[in-house]
Amino acid sequence: MIRINLLPVRAAKKKETLRQQIIIAALSLGVILAAIGYLGVSISNKITEVEKKITAINKEIIKLKKEETYSKDIERKKKAVEAKLKVIDDLDKKKSGPVHLMDELTKSIPFEPTAELPKKIQINSLKEKGGTLELKGIALDNEIIASFMTNLENSPYFKNVNLGSSKGVEKQKIKVKDFTITCQLEFPEDSSEAVGP
Per-domain boundaries in the chain: 11-197
Q: Is the pLDDT of residue 54 over 90?
A: yes
Specify the range with the lowest mean pLDDT, choosing from 18-32, 74-88, 97-111. Answer: 97-111
Q: Is the pLDDT of residue 9 over 70?
A: no
Beta strands of 57-116 (E only): which ranges? none
Residue 187: which residues within 8 A CB-CB, separation 6 or more?
93, 94, 97, 157
Strand pairing partners for 178?
Answer: 138, 167
Give me the pLDDT at residue 87, please. Answer: 79
Average pLDDT over residues 147-174: 84
Q: Is the pLDDT of residue 75 over 60?
A: yes
**CA-based max dimension of the chain:** 178
Percent of the chain with pLDDT over 70: 80
As assigned by CATH, the class of the 11-197 domain is: alpha beta
Residue 123: which residues within 8 A CB-CB, separation 6 or more?
105, 109, 135, 136, 137
Average pLDDT over residues 41-59: 92
pTM of whole model > 0.75?
no
Give me the pLDDT at residue 193, please. Answer: 43
Specify the range with the lowest mean pLDDT, choosing from 33-37, 88-92, 104-108. Answer: 88-92
* Of 182 and 5, the one with more pLDDT: 182
Give me the pLDDT at residue 52, please. Answer: 92
Give me the pLDDT at residue 8, please. Answer: 66
- Identify the helix (H) or strand (E) that includes residue 155: none
The pLDDT tens digits of the residues spanning 144-156 come to: 888 888 888 888 8
Nearest alpha-carbon partner for 123 in 99, 94, 152, 95: 152
